[in-house]
Amino acid sequence: MSKIKNYITDITDEKGKILSIFLTSGFPYKDKFVDLSLKSLDAGADMLEIGFPFSDPLADGPSIQYSSKVALENGVNLARTFEYVQGIRKETNKPLILMGYANPVLSYGIENFSSSCKHTGVDGVIIPDIPLEEFEGFFHKNFDDIDKIFLITPTTPDERIRQIDEKSSGFVYCVSVSGTTGARDNYDNLQYIKRSGTLLNKNKMLVGFGVSSCNTAKAYAESSDGVIVGSAIVDLLMNDTSHFEKTLTFIAELRKVLPYIQN
């Protein structure tokens, strides 16, 4: 049973849309990350994706690369990230997802990683550089109770989208553009997003990469089950106060433009 899938389904069955927020672990202040996370959920986020920092984040644009660099300089690693998750989980039942690259997981140890996910309350993981062909070897039985979320892109063939849908649990992450993460303000790929949704039989679909404003969030949500906002949040945090007023206001504004059902 997937907590994330059930959570999303409960909302979308009532015609609501999911707002998922991405934060880099320990950014911008390592001692205020739990506070930032909980305030983001209170401001209107349905789910939280926590990116654990890595020195070579190939799929990420300049903003998230910078946030990862700052987090690493602050001494944030996977062990500290799990401490954050545990602190957040004590105060919320909303889905918590870890997102990052395979290298830190392998360094931490796959079994240690899966065990820490279960112990601290992680509901799902997104490891974008693990392809389907390496699924069985990486996500062994220790991940049985943790959702494994895969990505599709505008260049993913239809048959592979179906295969990803079959292997994914929780939801399918639809990357809106060909390229790295980053704020954009265009809707060139709405047809691709609509078509991809029709190919999924098992999972709901959330759209991320390039969701930079209330307008893009609303446009993408109309063709999916919700959106994931990352770089736009990180950009605001770079210049926000220690109370995160600008960031929390933006999350609240995103919430207002998306149909909302309280879960």
CATH of the domain at 205: 3.20.20.70
Whether 49 is catalytic is yes
Three-state DSSP class for 228? Answer: strand
Per the domain annotation, does 259 fall within a domain? Answer: no
pLDDT of residue 89: 98
Count how many domains the chain has. 1
10 domain-assigned: yes
- What pLDDT is stored for residue 184 in this prediction? 45
Q: One of 46, 60, 147, 225 is an active-site residue; which one?
A: 60
261 domain-assigned: no
> Does any domain span residue 263?
no
- The candidate with the shortest Cα–Cα distance to 164, out of 180, 148, 143, is 148
Q: Is 10 labeled as catalytic in the residue annotation? A: no
Query: Is residue 218 in a domain?
Result: yes
**Within a domain: 210:** yes
pLDDT of res. 229: 96
Residue type, 260: Y
Is the residue at 244 inside a domain? yes
Number of H helices, E strands in the chain: 12, 9
For residue 188, what pLDDT is reported? 63
Tell me how far CA of residue 110 lies from CA of 100, 102, 115, 164, 208, in angstroms.
13, 9, 8, 21, 26
In which domain, by residue range, is 155 found?
3-254
Quick check: is 44 in a domain? yes
Q: List, in order, residues 6 or more apart from 120 with CB less than 8 Å away.
A: 82, 83, 85, 86, 89
The pLDDT of residue 224 is 96
Per-residue pLDDT of the chain (263 residues; tens, 9 = 90+): 699 999 999 999 999 999 999 999 999 999 999 999 999 999 999 999 999 998 876 656 688 889 999 999 999 999 999 999 999 999 999 999 999 999 999 999 999 999 999 999 999 999 999 999 998 889 987 898 999 999 999 999 999 999 999 999 999 999 987 644 444 455 567 899 999 999 999 999 999 988 989 999 999 999 999 999 999 999 999 999 889 999 999 999 999 999 877 65
Of 49, 123, 225, 235, the catalytic one is 49
